[in-house]
Structure 1
């Protein structure tokens, strides 16, 4: 008889834990959204929670079954039965309360329609003892549910359709009201223009100056039934000339029709209340009955908004192109690769203009000589050499020979431009100085702005600064109000224009916010309006007493360089990083003319510039407007200077 095998030793007991089936995701009815409330044994939301002596909590039934098999904690194997055989588990009421709250607050996901239908099909297919009555009851329930679902769906569809139609109706009704208002304004203005044909007094646009170019604008027909007046007669030659000019202006008008239309309605709405309060013109009381009615008839009063728009339309369509007058070169050495012109300025009488840039030279030219002599090379009448790259120059409005400049070392220098001699040097800025400007009223004062976040005020008869403005960011430009000795605007790297009264330099009068990048230039159009340029490719028009932007000008490209900014009060010129010059009129947001240094010609009739693929990195770096004329001087990063005229 063979010996029986030796018994195998009992293995060391391991904690009894319930394992999940691999690949099975627990349903929402088994687990809680908060895993801390799940039982570690059954992985379901804990029920009738009990806590062991070691601090672990389980469902009461789960932990009881574990203790019956092995009296130890399923997690840490801590003994759960004392010497007397008493179980060491205790009710966990706090955890029970939390579990009950979770059950009440937790919203179980609804079973989807496809899943519910599948379950019903399985139930019906699996049940064998189903009577006809049971099937009929089920059908009744399903039919009732179907009708409820269809009714709900129909109600939702009808409600949504009604809301859409209501919203569309209100929007179209508001649009209709706007159109009616616009039509009423148009009819009112057309009626006013028709009334002009019945008067002997011509209506002229207020504040509309004659163009600077050689041809002057003449009265044009308001409508086909109105005659063209040249003095007191109508001449065929004059009419032909007017029709030619009218044809050119009409083309430019239609090229920018949408922008002009927006400008018209904006101007009419702004001044509508003012027009309604304006008194009607009165007929003179002492008029004699023998006087011709055309003489006694009062002059029609134009609506203020119509006058404003007529002025904008006239000035916007006045010029057809930019004409080249002459060309200069800033770099005397043709092999010099660095020839960026940073600043161009005319003197107080527009007799001379100076050009400065990174070659550290200020070159002075006589305007009449440059225009008169049709030669390939023009030489300056004077030249001044600085110790560092020049960022900005400014002429004194009183001392004709005095010229100020700022440079990359932070130095502000005063020159006697006629003698090419330094008069005074100011060296208080700690970093690069970007801008300098003479006060137009108190002509012995000038200001400078620097990367050291300071604006310094200087007097030409003193050695040190007389005042200072502390900015919070780099100062890129400074400009005095042309009609005030106390007011100054500065553009900063904080994306804002700050306006100061120099009698209180600690607090600004206003901060003009709207640019998305650093403000590189600020120029005054007049005492009440200023324009700013930024590397966000926008110009913005402001009123000195209003922090809201009046208008933004877009079209040019300016993302990283100083491209120049100039104005004559109505028109604004700026450079672009596509190597072109852009001209804007202050009343509209789009450019009216462009000049490309690449093609050496004016842009298209609509003011746009054709851009060739692979355009170089050249850019327009400085511009200047000749006071009282339509002449603009512009220079680019290669040192080419163009004298251009709007015609």
Structure 2
């Protein structure tokens, strides 16, 4: 098992454990649940932004998906500017429950479903037209899909204990690689910076990093610290990776040497997938929690820098009683920008509520 080394361990522990609060967060928009009752679940399982090259929200798209068998696509600027108007730009009905969505281009979004199928939709055509479909995992649930930064490779991870990789541009069912495991694959991610690396989170409690140029040679690094399934893996830039486990922990790695740098605790994720994302440009980690809160961590400190409850509307007593132990924040996503230190975080919960938060770095006081 890798041992966690903190480069600040010579500092006073109490000082290291107290993060500086350098960011202000504000609610920009809230999308209510489309379900008429909490008893009919509209749980959000995945949130994705369309690719962007700047921090402008103009023409950017936001997509949500989950077990309601719908992909809802919103115009981000319209959503923020007209808070009262929260209707989706496109609402795509799908044949199966959805576990994960990712944009391949600004117009095409891929969806992995509970039936083991990856379907791509063109969101600019009608109410979303299916343009490709691949039965990747023989009817077994897909947990995660992703695309390389240039869209030339796609990957999926499944309950069938495999990760698949292929060229989504080719009109062929030929796989580029199949990576077998002994446990379900919970998460896959290409390095979004464009480097030729690929990470996998597995139910065997480990995270794996591959060089996509030589996948058949096996992983170039195995990261072993979690005590339960690794539910998410996210590259964090500068040779770092964050893994999230069903053990209430996120772990920061210097993955090239397998060094555990720091653990992050405070959120709760012992039974469910709660979402985890990294804002690479600013080194912030967001996650949901079974406590029905959004947590944000700065990679420099173990404890959260921001916690926000997700309570929405007051419902009837019977609805509250029946859902008291089931509601939690289940998906998060950062909008990756490279500009003026302003960010955007979107979170969704198991009741179908989606909230958009803006974050701005506080001015430094001399």
TM-score bracket for the superposition, by shorter chain length: 0.7 to 0.9
- How do 1:190-205 residues align onto structure 2 when only pairs under 5 Å count? none
Q: Scaled by the length of structure 2, what TM-score is found?
A: 0.83
Q: CA deviation at 1:579?
A: 0.3
From 4, 22, 26, the counterpart of 1:318: 22
Q: What is the CA–CA distance in structure 2 between the aligned matches of 1:259 and 1:417, rounded to whole Å?
A: 50
Q: What is the CA–CA distance in structure 2 between the aligned matches of 1:391 and 1:259, rounded to whole Å?
A: 40
Counterpart position of 1:340: 43
Kept after mapping to 2: 8 A contact 1:565/1:574 = yes
Q: What is the CA–CA distance in structure 1 between the aligned matches of 2:15 and 2:108, rounded to whole Å?
A: 43
Counterpart position of 1:378: 86
Counterpart position of 2:352: 639
- How do 1:288-367 residues align onto structure 2 when only pairs under 5 Å count? 316-320=20-24, 322-331=25-34, 333-334=36-37, 337-349=40-52, 351-367=60-76
- How do 1:177-576 residues align onto structure 2 when only pairs under 5 Å count? 258-261=13-16, 316-320=20-24, 322-331=25-34, 333-334=36-37, 337-349=40-52, 351-375=60-84, 377-396=85-104, 399-419=105-125, 420-430=128-138, 431-441=140-150, 443-460=151-168, 461-464=170-173, 465-484=175-194, 486-506=196-216, 507-569=218-280, 570-576=283-289
5+ long unaligned stretches in structure 1: 1-181, 186-256, 264-312, 601-613
Q: CA deviation at 1:512?
A: 0.2
Q: What is the CA–CA distance in structure 2 between the aligned matches of 1:444 and 1:504, rounded to whole Å?
A: 16
Q: CA deviation at 1:258?
A: 4.9
Q: CA deviation at 1:645?
A: 2.1
Q: What is the CA–CA distance in structure 2 between the aligned matches of 1:374 and 1:548, rounded to whole Å?
A: 44
- Taking a change above 3 Å as real, the CA distance of residues 262 and 622 of structure 1, as seen in their structure-2 partners, is closer
- Taking a change above 3 Å as real, the CA distance of residues 341 and 262 of structure 1, as seen in their structure-2 partners, is closer
Q: Secondary structure at the match of 1:434?
A: strand
Q: Secondary structure at the match of 2:165?
A: strand
TM-superposition CA deviations, 1:22-42 (whole Å, max 9, x none): xxxxxxxxxxxxxxxxxxxxx
Q: Secondary structure at the match of 2:80?
A: helix
Q: CA deviation at 1:331?
A: 2.6
Q: What is the CA–CA distance in structure 1 between the aligned matches of 2:79 and 2:346, rounded to whole Å?
A: 12
Q: CA deviation at 1:599?
A: 7.2
Aligned residues: 324
Q: CA deviation at 1:332?
A: 5.1
Q: What is the CA–CA distance in structure 2 between the aligned matches of 1:539 and 1:599, rounded to whole Å?
A: 27
Counterpart position of 2:304: 591
Q: What is the CA–CA distance in structure 2 between the aligned matches of 1:436 and 1:450, rounded to whole Å?
A: 9
Kept after mapping to 1: 8 A contact 2:17/2:303 = no
Q: CA deviation at 1:635?
A: 0.6
Q: What is the CA–CA distance in structure 2 between the aligned matches of 1:317 and 1:497, rounded to whole Å?
A: 30
Q: What is the CA–CA distance in structure 2 between the aligned matches of 1:389 and 1:527, rounded to whole Å?
A: 36
Q: What is the CA–CA distance in structure 1 between the aligned matches of 2:237 and 2:16, rounded to whole Å?
A: 26
TM-superposition CA deviations, 1:456-488 (whole Å, max 9, x none): 112121321222111221100000012346321
Q: What is the CA–CA distance in structure 1 between the aligned matches of 2:253 and 2:301, rounded to whole Å?
A: 14
Q: Secondary structure at the match of 1:503?
A: helix
Of the two structures, which has the highest relative contact order with CA contacts closer than 8 Å and spacing of 6 or more?
Answer: 2
Kept after mapping to 2: 8 A contact 1:405/1:412 = yes
- Taking a change above 3 Å as real, the CA distance of residues 335 and 473 of structure 1, as seen in their structure-2 partners, is closer
Q: Secondary structure at the match of 2:232?
A: strand
Q: Scaled by the length of structure 1, what TM-score is found?
A: 0.48
Q: What is the CA–CA distance in structure 2 between the aligned matches of 1:580 and 1:262, rounded to whole Å?
A: 21
Counterpart position of 2:3: none
Q: CA deviation at 1:417?
A: 1.5
Q: More helix per residue: 1 or 2? A: 1
TM-superposition CA deviations, 1:348-377 (whole Å, max 9, x none): 1251110101001000001111111131x5
Q: What is the CA–CA distance in structure 1 between the aligned matches of 2:213 and 2:176, rounded to whole Å?
A: 12
Structure with the greater alpha carbon radius of gyration: 1
Q: What is the CA–CA distance in structure 2 between the aligned matches of 1:633 and 1:260, rounded to whole Å?
A: 31
Q: What is the CA–CA distance in structure 2 between the aligned matches of 1:392 and 1:456, rounded to whole Å?
A: 15
Kept after mapping to 2: 8 A contact 1:578/1:615 = no
TM-superposition CA deviations, 1:558-587 (whole Å, max 9, x none): 111110111112110000000000000001
CA RMSD of aligned residues (A): 2.1
Q: Secondary structure at the match of 1:505?
A: helix
5+ long unaligned stretches in structure 2: 1-9, 314-322, 361-366
Kept after mapping to 2: 8 A contact 1:330/1:341 = no
Q: What is the CA–CA distance in structure 2 between the aligned matches of 1:261 and 1:619, rounded to whole Å?
A: 29
